[in-house]
Each structure stands twice: as C-alpha cells, then as structure tokens.
Amino acid sequence: MRERRPTRRDLADPLTRVAKPHRLLQPAAGPLIAAGLRMLSRKSLGGLQTDLSSRVLGTDGSPLPGLYAAGEVAGFGGGGMHGYRSLEGTFLGGCLFSGRIAGRAAAAAI
C-alpha cells in the first residue's frame, strides 16, 4: 500500500477513480467478483530464423531457396532494433526495415 500512496496524490487519480481505496477483503466493500480471462498473445517475439538478407534458414542453417521472411515472422522482435523492452506499436519500423531487406534480396535473386 505504501508504494501506491504517491500516485494517489496525482491530480488525475481522484478525477478518474471509480471506487474509494479500501482493503480488498473488507466486509463493507461488498462481495468479491470473479471474471473469466482468456490468454492472448500480442507479440510473438520470435519467428523464423533468417540471415542478413532475410532468407529463411533451414534446420541445417542453409537458406531455403526462394523463401524470404519480413516483419515479425522474421524474428526481429526479440531484441531487434527496438530491443526487448519495445512497446506496442513500435514494431512498424522493424517491419518496414525487414520488408525492405527481403524485397531487395528477392529482387536481386531474380
């Protein structure tokens, strides 16, 4: 509770708060309500293993002919240009960058 007190002094807290602060198991607070949750993955932070030309690598490490990967499937999400602590929506730069690399590599292969 001690950690939350500085945030309660913020101007937005009393304006946006729906219920007054109270102990969770306080009898006067009313019954506890349960809600069912479903897990949702918003970021895979993984993908296919690729080389620097965005060619997809097989299990033996050699590039698969004619197969390129771009975007999040290219595996840049787990520490790429934005790092492990990237926020939602910041993968657009990585998607554009890896798409550009994959497009140029595919065009050069033709």
Q: Determine, yes or no, domain membership for 67.
A: yes
Q: Determine, yes or no, domain membership for 86.
A: yes
How many residues belong to the chain? 110
What is the domain range of residue 64?
55-109
Q: Determine, yes or no, domain membership for 26.
A: no
Q: What's the predicted TM-score (pTM) here?
A: 0.52
Which of the two residues, 1 and 50, has the higher pLDDT score?
50
End-to-end alpha carbon distance in the chain: 63
**Domains in the chain, number:** 1
Confidence band for 78, pLDDT divided at 50, 70 and 90: very low
Query: What is the per-residue pLDDT across 23-70, written as a single tens digit (0 to 9) for each?
Result: 777 788 778 777 777 766 555 556 788 888 989 999 999 999 999 998
Residue closest to 82 by CA, chosen among 71, 74, 90: 90
Q: Determine, yes or no, domain membership for 9.
A: no
Residue ranges of E strands in 1-110 = 55-57, 63-68
Query: What is the per-residue pLDDT across 51-63, written as a single tens digit (0 to 9) for each?
Result: 889 899 999 999 9
Q: Determine, yes or no, domain membership for 14.
A: no
Q: Determine, yes or no, domain membership for 40.
A: no
| Mean pLDDT for the stretch of residues 68-95 | 67
Q: Determine, yes or no, domain membership for 27.
A: no
Q: Determine, yes or no, domain membership for 38.
A: no
